[in-house]
Structures are given as structure tokens and as C-alpha cells.
Structure 1
Amino acid sequence: MTATLTADRAVRAPRVPVGRGYRFELVKVVSQWRIRLLVLACWIAPAVFVAGVSQQSTLPVDTLFGRWMLATGWAGPLVILGFAGTWALPLLTSLVAGDVFASEDRLGTWRHLLVAVRSPRRIFVAKALASLTVILLLVAGLACSSAIGGLATVGHRPLVGLDGHLLSASDAAGKVLLAWVCVLGPTLALAAIGLLGSVVLGRSPMGLLLPALVALAMQLAQMLPLPVAVRLALPGYAFIAWNGLFADPVQLGPLLIGIAVSLVWAVVATTLAYLLFLRRDFTNLTDDGLGHRALTLGVVPLVGLLAVSVPVVAAASGASGSGIEQDKVERSVATAFAHLYRMQTDQLHRPAVTEAQVRASAACHKGSVTADAQGPGNDWRCVVSWHLPGVEAPGTAVYQLDVTADGRFMADGDGPKEVNGYFLVRTPIGDAPNPLWQFDGNVELLPTSKG
């Protein structure tokens, strides 16, 4: 009789609220020494790196906005953002979300947790929210630390945009913040993939590495000459598309599509993880995941999602081919040259001109192809022409272009030396390289009204 009453009371015992379970899971995650080290590193290392690089004469010019780290404190957070999207955020999501369920399998504590909480659904929600909180804390640390390091070392100064136009310091601050917010979409997608891997693969180390491996595969795909619709359909494209915020006009199309695709992947992967978690047999001590069923239950739905996303994105955006076309390259190079020519004129204390007066235009070809050239490559060559008020003969300058598959290009001046050669110009903040010597730009991959 006593045993029956005890069993009835156990059955009728109230389930632990989600809020209480969330606090419990958050304390468990934060109490791990590696998580504490990650938080400490994310809130200190970026500031140290940005401050150190900003005091050097050699800058990471191969990184987007790296060449402007001596000119403004807002370039540092963008350099860190480029590194974070490539390496840091995939690894952070792997170490947090990829281990949140697998740790219970390694410790053999599922039965104790189920007895305490009495609801697998609430356990999943609490663990997912706890891992999301830690990931957001890490991302906030990277953004805030890099901004503090740049502002403390260089200062709150204007930033040169991706097409050469000058952003005010306040405008640059707003866009840097917005860029960091935009990468939360692909970060959530990787975190959801980490939850799925942690549920499906159990104590296997592959579950812990899954977000990093997926991110690496997406990076390799972005390096290949794939159609632009395939690029946009990958959940990590928003890690790249944020640079469109720093063009004029802002290139929102690829960014919005990338964020939308990332959020869809986050929802689908989280739903799969939730459904598969509810199917776990927690009474079987040897069951630590789905094992060989992982391919069918975890991977196939995501591959199907990618297959569906490609035609949907292509139809919605009108994207076709590589998106890198001759007229787009010419327009981007001419626009950036006009903005930077005006900046050079101011720095050399010459008579002021406007972009409209300069009337810059570019004639580009790729290798031996002079008409209808398209596609990425380092064999693009452009001849820029411009006019000055009161001067009949136009000026010309030659550039060698390295255009990557994601639309970014680096233009390297190839003469005349007096225009785009390497020499130092005096600026209000000290000597700086000639702004027309080398500059970065971005080709709009989607169809535009001008195209």
C-alpha cells in the first residue's frame, strides 16, 4: 500500500518549469572550464589583436577592410567579423551546441535528468536555450571586444566603404553593428546543426565536429565557380553577404536571401533534432544516439532542403550563372575609382572635384575575352578613364583585378605611377598609401535595374 501511494505521488509530481530547467542547464554549460576559457578569449583576444595590428606598419590587406585599420577604429571589428565567419563562429557552435546533448551520453546522466525534470520536451528546450545563450554571449564578446580595441587605438573616425565612398563615423558604427547582427542568422543555422549532430551521434566525436565540418564544406563550395543560386542557397552565405552593407547603394538582396535561408535551416535542423530526441530510448543504457540511422534521419532531410532551396532562390532572385559579368565589373571599378580619386585629390590638396565631374568609366576584359567576359579569375584587366574640369584630354589608369567567386575583387594599380602607383600621401591622421594604388570592391551578383 505504501509503495502504491509513493508511486502515485511520483506520477502526480509537477514537472520542472522550463525557466528553472533553463537556469540549471545554463549553469551546467558555464561551469565547464573550456566554456569559461572561450568566453574569456572572446571578450579579450579580439581587442588585443585589433590594438596590436592597428599599431603596425604592415596591415592584413588581403582581408576585407584590413587596409583601413590605421585610418579608423571601425575597420577592426569588420576584420574580426571576416575571421569569425570563416573560423571562429563554426568552432564556437561546435564546442557549445555540438556537445550539449552528447555530454549527457558520456556521463551517463540521462536517467537522473529525466527523473528530475520528468519531461523530455522541456529538457530539449532548456538545453537548446542554454546553448543559444552562451553562443550569443560569445558573439557579443567578439563584436564588443574588437570595437573597443579599434576605437581605443585608432579612434571614432570615418570609414571608406567597399566602393570607395566615405561613411561618417556614426554611419560606420551603425553598419558595423548591423553586420554583426546579420551573421547571427548563419550562426543559428550552425548551432541547430550542432544540436542535431549532438542528438543523432551521441557520444561520437563526429557530433561535436559536425558544425565545423559543415562550415568548412560551405567555404570550399564558395571557392568553387558555382552558380550564384547555389551560393545563395547555402546557409552560410550571410557570413559573406554582410559586405553589401558597405556599398552605395546598399546591396541588400544577397544579404536578405542569405539570412532567410539561414533561418530556414535553423528551424528545420532544430525541428529534426527535437523529433529525433523524443524518439530516444532512455531506458536502454547502450543507446547513445541513432548510429547508422543518422544518414537517413539527419542528413537526408538537410540535403533535400538544399535541393529545394536552389530552384526557389533562383526563381525568387532571378539569379543565373556566376553573376559576375563584364558590365557589372566595369561599373563597380569605375564607381570605386571615382570615389577614391576624389579622396586622393583632397589628400594632395588639389582643386576639389566631384564624382559627377570626374565621369569615370572602365573598360574591362578577362584574359583574351574582350566582349561578354564573365566569371571569377585573376586575369581581369581594366582601363579606367576620367575627365577633369577644363581639361580636354581624358586621363587613363590600368588595373589588374583578382575577382573571387563571391563577387569580391581587389584592384591593383598598374600605371601610370603618378596616379595609381605606390606612394605615401599626407592625411590628417598621418602618412598613408595612395588610395588609388590598391582597393577592394564588390560586384553585385544579382540582376540590378542598372544592368
Structure 2
Amino acid sequence: MTATASPEHAAVSGGASVARSYRFEVVKLVSQWRIRLLVLACWTAPALFVAGVSRQSTLPTDTLFGRWMHATGWAGPLVTLGFAGTWALPLLVSVVAGDVFAAEDRLGTWRHLLVAVRSPRRIFAAKALASLTVILLLVAGLAVSSTAGGLAAVGNQPLVGLDGRLLAPGDAAGRVLLAWTCVLAPALALAGIGLLGSIVLARSPMGLLLPALVALAMQLAQMLPLPVAVRLALPGCAFTAWNGLFTSPVQLAPLLTGIVVGLLWAAAATALACALFLRRDFTDLTDDGSARRAVTVGALPLAGLFGVTVAVVAATTTVAGSGIDRAGVQASLATEFAHLYRMQTRQLHRPAVTEAQLNTSATCTKAGVQDDARGPGNDWRCVVSWHLPGVAATGSAVYQLDITADGRFVADGDGPKGVNGYFLVRTPTGDAPNPLWQFDGDVELLSTSPKG
């Protein structure tokens, strides 16, 4: 009589499956007190922050959409998104992905995993998928919590976009959701770098800090007046490129470029981490990684990917330099002023006027340069002109612009007082915030056709 092995015995003798290993890794991650604390914080703290700030008299006007937190609940999740892309997400990714492999080195538990799973490939897949699950849980918590806090504190009101256009609540909700979805690409890129650092650097604490340090380096680079091709080739570009979702037409080119670059970095870093993990000698208990391996296996391939990406972006656009020029600034400012002027008209209960009737235009100079003004800086000065039906005189208003290297600008009204020189306007129902006094805008950096 021939004996046959049962399916359960065969599964045990062949090692744990990816599904079982994945469940084990997820349980192991969420059983850690710091992960539980992060999950709790991500699902509660943003709601409390947004609700609290929305009820304060002073708003974070230096943050994108911060000046609208009194007016609509959809501004809160965007303020949170700006903070998350700068600080929260890199730190969260570091804690999760930057330690998922190194923890086994510190605890000396690799031999137990190898006996149970019997496949380094399945171990890597389970750990990578578990890290991704926890990261998605944390990002979802930030988005849901901040949205709930904003809607509960202020309500489901229209949102003013970065071109001055008023977005209906349903449209605003869709764009907010899409913006949070888009930042998953750079978050995954940092997660892939975290996995690579956790494997290459093993017990070294630098593996845990690597995603945060890379994110910090990218933030510093974004502050510099880099060529637009270099800026868009950074894996964290989509952390700021989501701004283009709140203009009309939507600035898709920078956003799609940022998403593709982020996903390419995520795939490349994860593939490098997997290849290195599969080649590891687990019989050597003193294997803590090496500087040579970190450079040759980790840094050099990613540096090569960055160089190729810069070349491809530069070859597919005609924009040179920073992408911020006089024509683009004037067009963005004139368009936004026209939309906000109509908002002020409704506040003051004046006769309605269309953008076509206003025929708004802007003339800008930068530090005394008029014809070839370009680049970021706080030395832009613009004069906006418009026409009212039945009025012979041309209206004009002065703005001082502070334009950052990523194309975002803050326009500060400098008179006349009745238009943009004071932060309040007197309406028939009382004083109200003046939409023309200060506002945020966005200059499109990337174009597939020459700018005029």
C-alpha cells in the first residue's frame, strides 16, 4: 500500500505560502506599539487639528488653501495633504518600510523565518506587501480623518481653486480624493527606498532614516531654482504637483510626469531590494551590509534612473529653465483675478459681469526687468487691468507676487483700497473677507508647446 501526503502536510513541508506569510507579517507589524500609535494618530489627529484650526480666528495663510479653512470643509484635507507630503508621509514610511527587514537582524530571527517559510522570495513578498498595507492604512487615515474634521467643523461648501474658480462641493470632493490618491506614487517610491535601505544597511539605524533623509533632500532641491526637467524627475514631484488639479484646465502634464516617475522609482528600488535579499547569505550572522554594496547596488542604479528620467523629460518639453516666465505669470494672475473679481461683485451685490466682459490683463515686472522677467522670487510686481461694461475708465490694481520654485505664488494686494488694498470688504450684510486682497495661485511649469 502506497502512502500519500495530505495537502496540509505538503504545505507545511514546502513552507508557508505567501498568503499565510503575509497575514503573519501584517499581524507582526500591527502588534508593535509604535505602529498602533501611528494608526491611532493618523485616524484621529487630523480631524481634531482641522476642526480646531477651522474655528480659530487666525488661519494658516502661509499654507496652500489655509486661507479658505473658514469657508469650506474641503480646504482642511488639502492643508493636511500639504503637511503630509512635506513631513508626515516620509516619517511614516520610514517607520514602516525602513525597519521591516532590519528588525529581523536586530532580533536574530531570520533562521526561524527561513525554517517556517523556506523561501526568501516568499519572505520578501510577504514583508513588502505587509508594509504596503500598513502604509495605505496610514494614508487613508490621514485623508478620511482630515476630511471628516473639515466637513464637521465648516460644512460641505464650495472651494475656491488656484485659478479663482469656484468648485462645487461634488467637484471639490472628487479633486480632493484624486489629490490624495496621486501622492501614493511618491509615497511608494519612498517605501521602495525604505525596503532597500532596510536590507542593505541591516542593523544600522541609517536604514530606518533613509526614506526621511531622501525626502528631506528632495524638499531642499524643490526650494532651489532648478531646471524644470530636473525638478519633475525627482520621485517626490507629485507631493506638490497635485496643485494642478485645482486649476482649469487641469495641469495634467506635471502631475502625470510626477506619478510616472514616482512609480518608476518604487518599482526600481523594490526590484533592487528583492535582488539583493535573494543573494544574501543567511548563514553569516555578522552580515550587516557594507558601504560598497550600498553604493553599487542601491545608489548607482537609482542615480542612473534619475539621469535617464531627466533626459526623457527634457526631450519631451520645450520649456527651458525654471518654467516660470513673464507670459505664464501674467496669464495665471489675470485669469485668477477675473474669477475672484466676480466673487467680490456678488459679495457687494453689484450687477453681474462675465470674464469676457472684464477682458482682464496683467503686466508684470521682476526686479526692474520687464520683457525677459523669469524665475522664482518675491520681487515680482504686477498691474492688473480690467474693463466694466458701460464704464469708459479702465480699472487697475497693483499686486506684489512671491513665486516659489514649484510655481506656486502668493499675490498680495497693494491698492487701491476699494479693490484689493484691505482684507475686508463692506457688504450689505456686514464686513466679509476680501477675496482680492491676498490669494494663492499656480503657474504651470511644464508644457509640450512653446510659451509665448
What TM-score comes out, normalization by structure 2 length? Answer: 0.96
CA apart distance, 1:318? 3.0
Alignment of 1:183-194 (within 5 A): 183-194=183-194
CA apart distance, 1:293? 2.0
**Is the contact made by 2:11 and 2:17 (CA closer than 8 Å) also made in structure 1?**
no
Structure-2 residue corresponding to 1:371: 371
Structure-1 residue corresponding to 2:262: 262
CA apart distance, 1:417? 0.8
Structure-1 residue corresponding to 2:59: 59
Cα deviation 1:79-104 (Å, max 9, x = unaligned): 00000000000000000000000000
Instruction: Extract structure 1 runs of 4+ deviating beyond 4 A.
Output: 9-12, 426-431
Structure-2 residue corresponding to 1:384: 384
Alignment of 1:135-174 (within 5 A): 135-174=135-174
Q: Distance in 1 between matches of 2:262 and 2:161?
A: 26
Q: Distance in 2 between matches of 1:33 and 1:422?
A: 51
Judged with a 3 Å threshold, the aligned counterparts in structure 2 of structure 1 residues 448 and 300 are, in CA distance, closer, same or farther, namely closer
CA apart distance, 1:431? 5.1
Q: Distance in 2 between matches of 1:208 and 1:428?
A: 58
Q: Distance in 1 between matches of 2:156 and 2:396?
A: 35
**Is the contact made by 1:280 and 1:289 (CA closer than 8 Å) also made in structure 2?**
no
Judged with a 3 Å threshold, the aligned counterparts in structure 2 of structure 1 residues 70 and 427 are, in CA distance, closer, same or farther, namely farther
Cα deviation 1:362-388 (Å, max 9, x = unaligned): 000101101121000100000000000
Judged with a 3 Å threshold, the aligned counterparts in structure 2 of structure 1 residues 430 and 206 are, in CA distance, closer, same or farther, namely farther
CA apart distance, 1:290? 3.8
Q: Distance in 1 between matches of 2:307 and 2:11?
A: 46
CA apart distance, 1:309? 0.9
**Is the contact made by 1:421 and 1:434 (CA closer than 8 Å) also made in structure 2?**
no
Structure-2 residue corresponding to 1:246: 246
Structure-2 residue corresponding to 1:436: 436
Structure-1 residue corresponding to 2:116: 116
Q: Distance in 1 between matches of 2:33 and 2:236?
A: 29
Cα deviation 1:64-93 (Å, max 9, x = unaligned): 000000000000000000000000000000
Structure-1 residue corresponding to 2:308: 308
Judged with a 3 Å threshold, the aligned counterparts in structure 2 of structure 1 residues 12 and 188 are, in CA distance, closer, same or farther, namely closer
Structure-1 residue corresponding to 2:40: 40
Q: Distance in 2 between matches of 1:25 and 1:167?
A: 43
CA apart distance, 1:280? 1.0
Q: Any idea what SS the aligned residue of 2:86 has?
A: helix
CA apart distance, 1:354? 1.1
Cα deviation 1:307-344 (Å, max 9, x = unaligned): 11101111123332110010100000000000000000
Structure-2 residue corresponding to 1:285: 285
CA apart distance, 1:438? 0.3
Judged with a 3 Å threshold, the aligned counterparts in structure 2 of structure 1 residues 178 and 426 are, in CA distance, closer, same or farther, namely farther
Q: CA RMSD in A?
A: 1.7
Q: Distance in 2 between matches of 1:216 and 1:64?
A: 19
Structure-2 residue corresponding to 1:225: 225
Structure-2 residue corresponding to 1:88: 88
Q: Any idea what SS the aligned residue of 2:98 has?
A: helix
Structure-2 residue corresponding to 1:276: 276
Alignment of 1:346-357 (within 5 A): 346-357=346-357
Structure-1 residue corresponding to 2:4: none
Structure-1 residue corresponding to 2:5: none
- Which AA in structure 1 matches 2:261? V
Q: Distance in 2 between matches of 1:423 and 1:117?
A: 65
CA apart distance, 1:448? 6.1
Structure-2 residue corresponding to 1:419: 419
Cα deviation 1:172-231 (Å, max 9, x = unaligned): 000000000000000000000000000000010000000000000000000001000000
Q: Distance in 1 between matches of 2:65 and 2:283?
A: 55
Aligned identity (percent) is: 78
Structure-1 residue corresponding to 2:16: 16
**Is the contact made by 2:317 and 2:448 (CA closer than 8 Å) also made in structure 1?**
no
**Is the contact made by 1:336 and 1:441 (CA closer than 8 Å) also made in structure 2?**
yes
Judged with a 3 Å threshold, the aligned counterparts in structure 2 of structure 1 residues 432 and 32 are, in CA distance, closer, same or farther, namely farther
Q: Any idea what SS the aligned residue of 1:351 has?
A: coil
Q: Distance in 1 between matches of 2:10 and 2:359?
A: 81
- Which AA in structure 2 matches 1:288? D
Q: Distance in 2 between matches of 1:131 and 1:431?
A: 51
Judged with a 3 Å threshold, the aligned counterparts in structure 2 of structure 1 residues 60 and 105 are, in CA distance, closer, same or farther, namely same
Judged with a 3 Å threshold, the aligned counterparts in structure 2 of structure 1 residues 341 and 137 are, in CA distance, closer, same or farther, namely same
Q: Distance in 2 between matches of 1:405 and 1:167?
A: 26
- Which AA in structure 2 matches 1:384? V
Judged with a 3 Å threshold, the aligned counterparts in structure 2 of structure 1 residues 107 and 214 are, in CA distance, closer, same or farther, namely same
For structure 2, list consecutive stretches of 5 or more residues without a partner in the other structure: 1-8
**Is the contact made by 2:186 and 2:239 (CA closer than 8 Å) also made in structure 1?**
yes
